Structures are given as C-alpha cells and as structure tokens.
C-alpha cells in the first residue's frame, strides 16, 4: 500500500528524480504494440532496465528472442538490448511490483456505437492497483478524452491510500508515433507531459527526459490529453476539407490535384493536405470522435469534427461509385467484374492495417457483386468479413487479368508504369501514377 513508509513530497520527488537520472529505476510498459515496443526500446537504449507486459505470448516470446514484430524496430536494435538484460517481455502483471515507473500504452478503440472503449485501460489499472508502492510513477499514453486520467485513474489510486504528488506520481503523456517515419521517431519527437500535480509532472519528466531529446511540460493532465486530440482533429478536419474539395472539383470537372499543387506554392497561410479513399490508422479516424463524445456530456456539438467524420467515412463509398463509373465507360458492369485493389495498408510502405480504408472499399465492392483481389507487398494476408484473403503474388500479371486496378495505398516501390501498361483501366485514389511521371488515358484519378 502506498500509505506505508510515506515520506515528504520533496524528499520523494528528489529521490525518484535521482533514481531516474542515475538509471537505477526500473520501468515497465503495459501494451507492447506500435507504441509500447518503440518506447521500451528508447528507454532501454538510455540505460534503463525495461520490462514490457503484454497478454500476447507470441509477442513476448518474440521479444525475448530478440525478434521484432514491429517494422519501426529492427532486430539489430532489439537483440542487443535483450541480450544485455536491458529489455525483456512478460505476460504477467506481477513483474510490475518491481517497477519505479510504468507507462500504459494500450489500445483505446471506439465501440460500434461511437463510444470510447476504455476496457484495456481499466484492465491495466486493475492489475496496477495490486502492485502500487511508494515512489511509483504511472504515465498514461493511450489516447483518450480530456479528464480520463483524473476521473478514471486518480480515484482508484487514491483509494489505495496513495498520496498523489507525495508518494505516488500520475501523469498523461500522449503518444505521437507515426509508423514508418524515420525523420521523427519516439526519441526525437517532442514529448508532452502533464501531471496531476506539479510534482507529478516533474517526476514523469525526469523519467522520460533521460531518453527523449525534448520534454514539453504542461500544466495538467487535461492539457496533455487535449493536445493529442487537437493534433489529430486538425489533421482529420483538414483531410475532410480536402476530400470535400475533391468531391466539388469532380462536379465542376476540375483537376483537384492540380489545384492542390498550385495552392501549395503559397509560402505562407496554407498547409498542403491531399484527398484519398478514406482515413486510416489508429489515431486520425478515432481521436476526434473521443473529443466529440466528451463534449456531448456538456451539451456541446462538435460540428467541425462530426462534419469531417461524415465526409471522410463516406469516401470509400465515393471511391466505389467512381470505380463503377470508370467501368461503365468501358461498357462493363461492376457486378461480375474482376477488381484488383492495389495496397491494403492504411499508408505507404508499412504493414499497419488499423482502420485501413482498403477494407471498406473491398467490402463495398464485394457487396456490389465484384470479384475482388488485392496486392500489397507489406500485407501478405488479411482478415476481411471473417474470411482470410491473401495478396496476389504478381501485381503486373494480376493487373493484366483484372478488369480494373484500384490504387488505394501508394507504396513507393511499386512499378506503376508496368502496372498501368498491363491494366485495362486504373482508378488512382492517391495520384500515384502521375506522381511517378506517367501520363496515360486509361488512368482515372480521384
């Protein structure tokens, strides 16, 4: 219990800061996915003994063998950390009793009803309650609505007799992982941290400050939580705007891609966004809806968020309509046609399928009677409507055999020239063909 062996605020704060600065502190990470594993690696590289906890035995066995299951973490980086005893994996929460700091990096999806699903956070919290001890700092990284840390975690911790900012430290620090990026990583992306108290912020900053290049302290957990939602709401709204611009340009027979390129030449007051088949990834499609849901509790309608979501979630249906139109121009009905979807991951050059619009496009095409296959060099197979689909082996041969190719994800290394030459019709939702320097009348662009 935290009430045991309580010291004064300043002595405990100073003691924990010294432990983190000297690397004596041990750190646990709950949830070892796209966020947790890179975070664990960065902390281990800084000299901490790090233990990752995840219920997936497959992941933890792979981790303990020095084999990465995340593209952003290479075996050559992971293996030495495991061999030197700086990083290990476990499926047991009991190991957290040894930790001085614990980061919670579990998923926070939306339910089908649009409500936040915080069950993973609740499960992590239930496990943590049994291992709390004086000096422990807990940092929630999972994206959620403003107030979660104070309203959900704080009461449970205080009920254990823990004095927040005295013998226990609680903070929120939003993850900012963008899978596949090499310029901005877990290590050099500025790290926002907001604690329940100033002491909580100070101790949490000491923990992350030994591994991250730039710490950005803020005044509260709510500010830190809202920061993440603003970042991704900004992106979702602007993507919604440019997607609607694509719809308008189609009605007016204007090339939206040329409009965007021209607007992008302005050196101030404009930030370039591009349209596409819908939103993907864990953050942008979901985070703004957390904020919209929270605001309903104070009788406020987040109109920009809900309009952007309406436009963005409607893009897969618009793509299918455009595919149907493109086939009609070649005297083909969508029903019975063979359609090759090019790219299944939600963004280029990664295998991440979370919330990928490709799944919606495939499902809608099948509903309309199309025979759908896909090619993705990063996604050898996927689960769709309860069945397993496997990527075709040769995209050029598949392009030749299908009635239309639909480019959903613009992977860098695809041979677009060969694909276009082999295809009968191409519908390009990413302007990938033109960006590759190819002009062909058989290519229809979003």
Burial class (CB in 10 A: 0-12, 13-18, 19+), 23: middle
Q: Which CATH superfamily is domain 233-445 in?
A: NAD(P)-binding Rossmann-like Domain (3.40.50.720)
Q: Of the candidates 45, 46, 51, 52, which has an alpha carbon nearest to the alpha carbon of residue 81?
A: 45
Give the phi and the psi of residue 414 in degrees, each rounded to 5. Answer: -70, 140
pLDDT at residue 114, rounded to an integer = 76
| Catalytic positions, written as ranges | 283
pLDDT at residue 9, rounded to an integer = 47
Q: Return residue ranges of the chain for CATH 3.40.50.720.
A: 9-219, 233-445
pLDDT at residue 338, rounded to an integer = 98
Residues of the chain short of pLDDT 50, as ranges, are 5-7, 9
Q: What is the pLDDT of residues 20-77, one digit of tens each?
A: 999 999 999 999 999 999 999 999 999 999 999 999 999 999 999 999 999 889 999 9
Q: What is the pLDDT of residues 79-97, one digit of tens each?
A: 999 999 999 999 999 999 9
Whole-number Å distance between alpha carbons of 109 and 241 = 24
Q: Do 425 and 330 form a contact (C-beta atoms < 8 A)?
A: yes
Q: Do 164 and 154 form a contact (C-beta atoms < 8 A)?
A: yes
Map residue 102 onto helix, strand or coil. Answer: strand
Q: Do 28 and 49 form a contact (C-beta atoms < 8 A)?
A: no
Give the phi and the psi of residue 30 in degrees, each rounded to 5. Answer: -95, 120
Q: Would you identify the CATH topology of the domain 9-219?
A: Rossmann fold (3.40.50)
Give the phi and the psi of residue 192 in degrees, each rounded to 5. Answer: -80, 135
């Amino acid at each position: 219990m935290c009430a045991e062996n309580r010291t004064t605020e300043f002595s405990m704060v100073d003691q924990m800061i010294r432990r983190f600065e000297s690397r004596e502190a041990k750190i646990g990470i709950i949830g070892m996915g796209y966020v947790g594993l890179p975070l664990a690696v960065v902390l281990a590289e800084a000299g901490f003994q790090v233990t990752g906890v995840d219920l997936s035995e497959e992941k933890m066995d792979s981790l303990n063998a020095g084999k990465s299951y995340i593209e952003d973490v290479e075996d050559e980086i992971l293996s030495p950390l495991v061999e030197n005893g700086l990083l290990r994996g476990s499926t047991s929460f009991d190991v957290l009793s040894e930790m001085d700091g614990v980061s919670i990096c579990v998923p926070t999806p939306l339910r089908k009803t649009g409500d936040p699903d915080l069950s993973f956070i609740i499960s992590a919290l239930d496990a943590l309650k049994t291992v709390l001890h004086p000096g422990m700092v807990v940092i929630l990284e999972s994206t959620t609505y403003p107030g979660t840390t104070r309203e959900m975690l704080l009461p449970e911790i205080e009920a254990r007799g823990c004095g927040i900012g005295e013998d226990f430290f609680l903070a929120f620090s939003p993850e900012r992982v963008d899978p596949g990026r090499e310029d901005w990583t877990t290590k050099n992306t500025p790290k926002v941290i907001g604690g329940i108290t100033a002491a909580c912020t100070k101790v949490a900053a000491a923990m992350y400050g030994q591994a991250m290049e730039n710490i950005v302290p803020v005044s509260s957990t709510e500010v830190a939580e809202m920061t993440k939602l603003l970042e991704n709401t900004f992106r979702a709204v602007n993507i919604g705007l440019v997607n609607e611009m694509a719809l308008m340009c189609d009605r007016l027979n204007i090339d939206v891609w040329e409009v965007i390129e021209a607007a992008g030449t302005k050196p101030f007051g404009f930030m370039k966004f591009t349209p596409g088949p819908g939103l993907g990834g864990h953050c942008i499609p979901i985070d703004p809806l957390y904020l919209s849901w929270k605001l309903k509790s104070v009788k406020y309608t987040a109109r920009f968020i809900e309009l952007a979501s309406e436009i963005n979630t409607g893009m897969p249906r618009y793509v299918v309509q455009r595919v149907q139109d493109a086939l009609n121009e070649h005297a083909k009905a969508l029903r019975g046609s063979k359609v090759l979807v090019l790219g299944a991951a939600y963004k280029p050059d990664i295998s991440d399928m979370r919330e990928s619009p490709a799944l919606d496009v495939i499902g809608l095409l099948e509903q309309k009677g199309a025979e759908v296959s896909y090619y993705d060099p990063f996604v050898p197979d996927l689960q769709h409507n309860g069945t397993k689909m496997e990527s075709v082996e040769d995209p050029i041969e598949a392009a030749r055999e299908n009635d239309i190719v639909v480019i959903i994800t613009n992977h860098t290394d695809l041979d677009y020239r060969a694909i276009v030459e082999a295809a009968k019709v191409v519908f390009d939702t990413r302007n990938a063909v033109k960006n590759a320097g190819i002009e062909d009348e058989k290519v229809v662009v979003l």
